[in-house]
Structure 1
Amino acid sequence: MSTVASFKANRKTDSEEWQLRVDLAAAFRLAAELNWHEAVANHFSLAVSADGKKFLMNPRWRHFSRIKASDLLLLDSDDPSTMDRPDAPDPSAWCIHGNMHKSLAHARCILHVHPPYATAIASLADPDIKPIDQNTARYFRRVAIDLGFGGIADEQEEGERLVRALGNANRLMMGNHGVLVVAETVAEAFDDLYYLERACQTLVLAYSTGRPLSVLSDEVAEKTAKGWEAYKPSAFAHFAQMKEILDAKDPSYAD
């Protein structure tokens, strides 16, 4: 039986994992719709085991717009033979996601991309997301910043360094590289990445005017960031609505 056929046959007996596959596949398709993807690079992953060490991830060099639930690789961060598999993942994906799933319990869903605006901000000498409006204030003092870029992240030492850079945070501005967000669920991670890219778009446009930024006071920025916490349930509604949009266009992501 083929891998795809096997997954489909087991849907009823492993419905929880299948739903995780569907949600992650939807996130890939939506990322392509929103222009967050980059060629056949970048990676999303999602833990399926209680300890977070077994996880789903996109296969090597597959375009986000074509990924289906049945395509996703099931990997084990404790398996040293992973890169010897005939369907081994991309080395940089294994380096980053494998190490994070192995070491960071809170990083159950990991979304790493190079979207235009977040990457532009990450490429500044100061990649901090300045609180200049409601969306940018969501990230006030809530983003880890890594300025140690040393090339493509495809070595074990680099993966371990990025684990330390993220630490207990949920967002990492990867200097000269891109952005990474983690969350408990795909819905929460997707919503957070959506707003982070929107915040960076606003900041890039504001910088482009050449006029001084009107940065919120620390007090107001912190109040606004805390205010966002009351809206956390909206992440699930946002993701559900986006999946309905996908279903109307092309429901094949759920195959």
Structure 2
Amino acid sequence: MSPSEIALRADLAAAYRLIAHFGMDDVIHTHLSARLPDEPDKLLINRYGDLFREVTPESLAVIDHSGSQVRGQQVPLNTAGIVIHTAIHAARPDAACVIHTHTAAGVAVSCQEDGLLPLNQTALLFYGRLAYHDFEGIALDRDEQSRLVADLGDCSAMILRNHGLLTVGRSVGEAFSLMYNLEQSCRMQVMALSGGRPLRLPTPDVMRRTAAQYAADPDGAAELEWAALRRLVGAPPAAWT
């Protein structure tokens, strides 16, 4: 196993544990996947049945874009996870990592006709870069893959209507940061709407300016944030290193 794969496995396993830490998991359901750096037609994904806090670097399965396990012990895999994740990795060369969640706040916003509102600084991270995909039932049909990919386009985040949230990153850290902030935006929106008072939105000029400020990342916050998050869940198990 190459050093780059070892490092990727450690990052992806950490992201699984972080999803659990921040309450964004759904028992054994939903998935995080990452493209193998030395084998771009293959990706890592969790075995079906593990709690997210139980995922380790060595427990991750290797599958190809057809969903077949191509290395190591054959383990249970979730069909819906294969359908969603392989479609995006196959269509988006920049998709180093894909994260999908079913959180209460994310699903709540996915059920709202207006979707995510540009209510605050966090939500404006997604201004002009958020896609939507209509619900077609549980994602078991590969026929849905083309529509899923078309709706995502070149966006880095998507709301799956009546279903949940999805983010795409050029690294595991970027995909996790996007998901954390998308989830926080949904939680803030649900709380703001529950207050029963009129909502105040920034002006369109401020919305665009804030989105551009995020895109510039002048302080290198993304890398600093991922390093801090890795410290939060600790290093990989000693047996792995």
TM-score using structure 2 length: 0.91
Is 1:245 aligned with 2:237? no
| Residue of structure 1 in register with 2:58 after alignment | 70
| Residue of structure 1 in register with 2:34 after alignment | 46
Q: Whose strand proportion is higher, 1 or 2?
A: 2
Other structure's SS at 2:166 match:
strand
Is 1:170 aligned with 2:156? yes
Provide the rounded CA distance (Å) in 2 between the counterparts of 1:209 and 1:200.
Answer: 15
| Residue of structure 2 in register with 1:151 after alignment | 137
Other structure's SS at 1:176 match:
coil
Note closer, same or farther for the CA distance 1:40–1:253 as it changes in structure 2 (3 Å cut). farther
Judge conservation of contact 2:61–2:69 (CA < 8 Å) in 1: no
Judge conservation of contact 1:22–1:253 (CA < 8 Å) in 2: no
| Residue of structure 2 in register with 1:210 after alignment | 196
Residue type of the partner of 1:252? P
Provide the rounded CA distance (Å) in 1 between the counterparts of 2:170 and 2:184.
Answer: 21
Judge conservation of contact 1:25–1:254 (CA < 8 Å) in 2: no
Residue type of the partner of 2:46? N
| Residue of structure 1 in register with 2:129 after alignment | 142
Judge conservation of contact 1:45–1:56 (CA < 8 Å) in 2: yes
Find the partner of 1:56 among 44, 55, 65. 44
| Residue of structure 2 in register with 1:195 after alignment | 181
Residue 90 of structure 1: how far off its partner (Å): 0.8
Note closer, same or farther for the CA distance 1:60–1:253 as it changes in structure 2 (3 Å cut). farther
Note closer, same or farther for the CA distance 1:252–1:103 as it changes in structure 2 (3 Å cut). same
Provide the rounded CA distance (Å) in 2 between the counterparts of 1:115 and 1:65.
Answer: 16
Note closer, same or farther for the CA distance 1:208–1:253 as it changes in structure 2 (3 Å cut). farther
Find the partner of 1:130 among 90, 114, 117. 117
The percentage of counterpart residues that share the same residue type is 30
Provide the rounded CA distance (Å) in 2 between the counterparts of 1:254 and 1:32.
Answer: 22
Note closer, same or farther for the CA distance 1:50–1:213 as it changes in structure 2 (3 Å cut). farther
Provide the rounded CA distance (Å) in 2 between the counterparts of 1:253 and 1:39.
Answer: 26
Judge conservation of contact 1:22–1:254 (CA < 8 Å) in 2: no
Residue 88 of structure 1: how far off its partner (Å): 4.7
Residue 114 of structure 1: how far off its partner (Å): 1.1
Residue 230 of structure 1: how far off its partner (Å): 2.7
Is 1:15 aligned with 2:3? yes
Judge conservation of contact 1:82–1:88 (CA < 8 Å) in 2: no
Unaligned 5+ segments in structure 1 are 1-9
**1:132-176 CA distance string (max 9 Å, x none):** 221111111210012x21211011012222111111111110000
Q: Whose helix proportion is higher, 1 or 2?
A: 1
TM-score using structure 1 length: 0.87
Unaligned 5+ segments in structure 2 are none
RMSD: 2.1
